[in-house]
Amino acid sequence: MFTYQAGEPLGVSMRKTALRSAAREEWSFLTPFDLTMIDSEAGLASMVMQRSGRTKLDADIEVGNWMERQKLPKEYPAAATPQPSWENEGGSLPA
């Protein structure tokens, strides 16, 4: 969800940066490092639960409501890894 992926498009990186900022505004007790380690809604709810002392149910509801306000899907798609050009051309490894 917030984790960095090698080769992801600039738009995806920018969206993740904006989401990390929005999450930090919502839960100021989450560190920038915490946010870079979160890869799913469940991971975010778990971190909110651990850092705030909320119950699992309360954290799940709070995170679910936040995600709806952010207009996020339940599962954030991973960035597609670009293939080297030689694979697309059916060639062999470069020498």
pLDDT of residue 72: 63
Cα–Cα dist 94/8, whole Å:
24
Cα–Cα dist 33/85, whole Å:
34
Structure tokens at 44: 């975010």
pLDDT per position as a tens digit, 54-94? 999 999 999 999 999 988 655 555 544 444 554 445 555 55
- Does the pTM surpass 0.75? The reply is no
Query: Using 50, 70 and 90 to split pLDDT, how confident is the model at 3?
Result: confident
> How many CB atoms sit inside 10 A of residue 59's CB?
22
pLDDT at position 11 over 80: yes
Domains in the chain with CATH codes:
10-77 (1.10.1470.10)
